[in-house]
Chains A and B, each alone.
Chain A
Amino acid sequence: MEARGYRAHLAAAFLALAGSLVSLPAWAAPVTLNFWAAWDPTKSDGIDGMRQIELFEKSHPNIKVNVQVIAFDALHDKLVTSVVGGDAPDISWGLVEWLGELDRMGALADLSRKMAAAPEQKELYPNALAALTIAGKLKAVPNYIGLRALLVHADMLKKAGIAAPPKTWAELLADAPKIKAATGKPAFGIAGTGVRTPQELIMFLAQNGVKIAVPTKDGKFYNDWAENPAEMKRAAEVFAFYQSLQTTGAIDPAAAGWGYEEEDSEFAQGRYAMVVDGSWMSERVAENPKEMADLEIVPPPYNTTPATFFEVNPFYIFKGPREADAWQLAQFMIGKEYQSAVDSDRSPRMDVTSNGIWGKNFTTLTPIGVVFPPVPLGSITQSMEDSVGRVLLKHQKPEAVAAWLSRAINKALRQSGELGSS
């Protein structure tokens, strides 16, 4: 009897010890989330963002956020290699162009259920969420949106006797010689190289009713221009438009070699009249107040279909043990407080808008925004950039360039295993 009592005491002590060990995590050290951000810590979004992160840490004492600032130029390669090396951050900024790639790597958490239960869902632009959804599963949440509008130096147009900014490509091409004659400066700006070139090309293609790839029945994608002569013709018209911009002197002769830095700085310094650009140009007003004083912002000109590039910059949440905590941080950052403080001009929330020209003039364009298809885009965006170079630098025929790009896109889709059957 005594022995039985002794054994019972021993078992109780063991259970108590085991119970205390099991409950240890509840009061263990706080979780530290690795958060990679691409903001500039010296500028307003970085300063406000860090302030908000501190508020998050105060309201979530069990979560610490380790913010690492990485420039966009380096972020993609670092993300891919960190995922391959099994050391991905818990949550990161990124470009929507990387969605297909990161998803194929199996790196992204499925956020569909969490978002469905979150009150933020009904406040976010539906097409922003749609742009981050693959096969019905939400794979990221929108950080900010970067719609593109036509930025105009109104004084240059007035000097040329032009009453209103162009609404169509034809008007733009007709205005160009007048602006050149009156001001000695080109009418329009494009980026001939770098990450912005494919963004502009996909916008011009959409403005002529063309898509770079369409979904197929097997859930993959395919460029159908070769099977659809009307589509191929419209794609060729886009490249002909690029050529016209060059031959009529509507763009600077050096624009074929411009990246986004040159495109933005040349416009901010008043060296040409119009550009399709984003709301980040508001920072240039402070840097070039005199040259940017005559700024107007209107919808971009188009050919057959009103369209603009819809840049949805997401927060990627990576699969791992801290997924739930990372979701809490993401949910906080798509909340009204954070968005109002950090991204009021470019918020993906419908209830956070700024009435200034950098707010509503852009967000009203959301319904006509186009995005890249959710496939690995590395070779595709490179081919799109090359196609613009073929027109502007090699002066190849628009029809030949359109046919080449169609083949290049399907080749890239085949290599990435995303080519659907036509």
Chain B
Amino acid sequence: MDTVQSIARGRSAAHRVSRVTTVVSHRRRQMPLIAWFFLSPVALLLLALIAYPLLDVAWESFHYVNLTNPTATGFSGFDNFETVFQDDDLLPAIWNTVLWTGLSVAGEYVLGLSAAVALAGPIRGGAFFRAFIIIPWLIPIVVAGLDWSWILAPDYGVLNLWLVHLGVLSHPVDWLGQMNTALLTVTLANVWRTFPFYTISFLAALQAVPPELHEAAALDGAPAWRRFWHISMPHLRPVTLTLVTLHVIWTAVNFDFIWVMTAGGPLNASTTLPILIYRYAMRNFDVGAACALAGMMMSAMATMFFLYRYGTMGLMRPRGRRLKTGEA
């Protein structure tokens, strides 16, 4: 009897387990459907706002699309790309984009880090300076660009006035009107506006460094610069990677700051790829060529970042393995 009961109990337990398993597996099967149900609004939004425009750009780069020439229609093959490659302004624009992006990001990094290090220490009025330094970043780009244009104007600009009064310059300089100064001047204005973002990011990272590490190193006799280099800098690496990656993208595709200050001039001296794309689309109304250049720019940037990402992962893997096996 006991045996029978025990078998019955066992069967009942097995039945319960089997029911629970069935319910769980049923729920598991349902989970993706529920997940899709909740994700679908976002997925639709992404499809409409990102995937569709991207595909449309790719499609139109192989078609004749000219707003002012309704007769130019149909498949264009590589004609739009040919238009872009035959443009005398393309190579200078690529060089200007590299220069503008490289100098901006480097300048923002150096200035942002210096300001963060200065503000990280116990200084009087630190809170005030931390709040004060963010102001340039809060100013809208168009307002900042116009302000700088007025400050730099050769006839009524305050910068030229000061420099001439101080004897630094013998006569006012048209900073935005000269071919050799226009792009550098806009770059400086961009650095001025953007470095506070670096400062607050670095400041947060610096304040997260455990103070005992610095204390221990100081007790061991490490000078300040060595402590900064070997303790603070490694802690800044993740935020640096994020900041630099984001700002390379944001700066390379920036249009408004240059457009407001120089519109790409004088004589294309500050024309970058986004300005060239705008010129194709909204000056020549050649949407096909604009899409071809935009597609090429996006592909180049995506390739760079994939190479960077997988290159970094490749470098990280052996180090990770060494750490796991205790070789390091």
Check A389 against B69 for contact (C-beta < 8 Å).
no
Contacts of B72 in A (CB 8 A): 417
Interface residue B243 (Cβ < 8 Å from any Cβ of A): no
Does A266 have its Cβ within 8 Å of any Cβ on chain B?
Answer: yes
| B265 adjacent to A193 (CB under 8 Å) | yes
Q: Is A193 touching B266 in the complex (CB atoms < 8 A)? A: yes
A104, CB-defined interface residue at 8 Å: yes
Query: Bound complex: CA of A378 vs CA of B66, how far in Å?
Result: 12
- Contact (Cβ within 8 A) A266 B178: no
Contacts of A253 in B (CB 8 A): 174
Check if A198 is an interface residue, CB within 8 A of chain B.
Answer: no
Report how far A396 CA is from B283 CA in the complex, Å: 25
- Binary contact readout B253-272 vs A (1 if CB under 8 angstroms, 0 otherwise): 00000000000011111000
- Contact flags A245-284 to B (C-beta < 8 A → 1, else 0): 0000000011011100010001000010000000000000
Give complex CA distance A80, B174 in Å. Answer: 34
A382 neighbours in B (Cβ, 8 Å): 279, 283
Q: Is the CB of A266 within 8 A of B266?
A: no
Q: Which of B254-307 contact A (CB under 8 A)?
A: 265-269, 279, 282-286
Does A94 belong to the interface (CB within 8 Å)? no
Given A378-B283, A378-B285, A394-B179: A256 and B266 interface contact (C-beta under 8 Å): yes
71-111 of chain A: CB within 8 A of chain B: 77, 80-81, 84, 101-102, 104-106
For B52-85 the 0/1 string (1 means CB < 8 A from A) is: 0000000000000001111110000000000100
Q: Is the C-beta of B155 less than 8 angstroms from some C-beta in chain A?
A: yes
A257 to B262, CA, bound (A): 10
The residue in B71, B172, B266, B284 that gathers the most chain A C-beta atoms within 10 A of its C-beta is B266
Chain A nearest CB from B260 CB (Å) reads 13
The answer on a CB contact under 8 Å between B174 and A257 is yes
Q: How far is B67's CA from A84's CA once the two chains are assembled, in angstroms? A: 6
A415 interface contact, C-beta 8 A: yes
Other-chain contact of B68, A101, A192, A266, A394 (Cβ < 8 Å)? A101
Known: A193-B266, A389-B265, A393-B179. A417 touches B68 (CB 8 A): no
Q: Is the CB of B267 within 8 A of A386?
A: yes
Interface contact A393-B266, CB-CB below 8 Å: yes
Given A81-B67, A376-B68, A417-B72, answer yes or no on A257-B266 (Cβ-Cβ < 8 Å).
yes
Q: Of B69, B154, B179, B267, which is in contact with the most chain A CB atoms at under 10 Å from its CB?
A: B267
Task: Determine the chain B residues whose CB is within 8 A of the CB of A389 once the complex forms.
Answer: 265-267
Chain A residues with CB below 8 A from B177, complex form: 192-193, 254, 256-258
Q: Confirm or deny: B176 has a beta carbon within 8 angstroms of a beta carbon on chain A.
A: yes
| Given A193-B266, A382-B283, CB of A104 within 8 Å of CB of B69 | yes
Contacts of B266 in A (CB 8 A): 192-193, 256-257, 389, 393
Q: Is the CB of B179 within 8 A of A80?
A: no
Asked whether A415 lies within 8 Å of B286 as measured between CB atoms, the reply is yes
In the complex, what residues of B have CB within 8 A of residue A106's CB?
A: 70
Among B172, B267, B286, the residue within 8 A (CB) of A394 is B267
Task: Please count how many residues in chain B sit with their CB below 8 Å of the partner chain's CB atoms.
Answer: 26
With contact pairs A84-B67, A257-B177, A376-B68 given, residues A77 and B267 touching in the complex (Cβ less than 8 Å):
no
Q: Which chain B residues lie closer than 8 Å to A257 at the CB level?
A: 174, 176-178, 265-266
Q: In the assembled complex, which residues on chain A have CB atoms less than 8 Å from the CB atom of B70?
A: 104-106
Q: How far is the CA of A376 from the CA of B172 in the complex (A)?
A: 39
- A379: Cβ under 8 A from any B Cβ: yes
Question: What separation, in Å, do the CA atoms of A416 and B68 have in the docked complex?
Answer: 9
Indicate whether A64 reaches chain B with its CB closer than 8 angstroms.
Answer: no
* Contacts A104-B69, A416-B69 given; does A254 touch B268 at CB 8 Å: no
What distance in Å separates the Cβ of A352 from its nearest Cβ neighbour in chain B? 34
Question: B176 — which chain A residues lie within 8 A by C-beta?
Answer: 257
Task: Provide the residues of chain A in CB contact with B83, threshold 8 Å.
Answer: 415
- With most chain B CB atoms within 10 A of its CB, the pick from A84, A101, A257 is A257
CA of A243 to CA of B72, assembled, Å: 40
A196 sits at the interface (CB 8 A): no
Q: How far is the CA of A106 from the CA of B269 in the complex (A)?
A: 36
Q: How far is the CB of A88 from chain B (nearest CB, A)?
A: 13
Write the nearest CB–CB distance from B51 to chain A, whole angstroms.
23
- Find chain B residues with CB under 8 A from A319 CB: none
B284: chain A residues at CB < 8 Å are 378-379, 415
Query: Nearest-CB distance from A365 to chain B (Å)?
Result: 30
- List 11 other contacts, CB 8 Å, given A80-B285, A105-B67, A262-B155: A80-B67, A105-B70, A106-B70, A256-B266, A257-B176, A257-B177, A257-B178, A257-B265, A382-B279, A389-B266, A393-B269
Chain A residues packing against B (C-beta within 8 Å): 77, 80-81, 84, 101-102, 104-106, 192-193, 253-254, 256-258, 262, 266, 271, 376, 378-379, 382, 386, 389-390, 393-394, 415-417
A sample of 29 cross-chain residue pairs with beta-carbon separation below 8 angstroms, ordered by A number, consists of: A80-B68, A84-B67, A101-B68, A104-B68, A104-B69, A104-B70, A105-B67, A105-B68, A105-B69, A105-B70, A192-B177, A254-B154, A254-B174, A254-B177, A256-B177, A257-B174, A257-B176, A257-B178, A257-B265, A262-B155, A376-B68, A379-B284, A390-B267, A393-B179, A393-B266, A415-B286, A416-B69, A417-B69, A417-B72
The 3 residue pairs across chains A and B that have the minimum distance between CB atoms: A257-B177, A389-B267, A254-B174
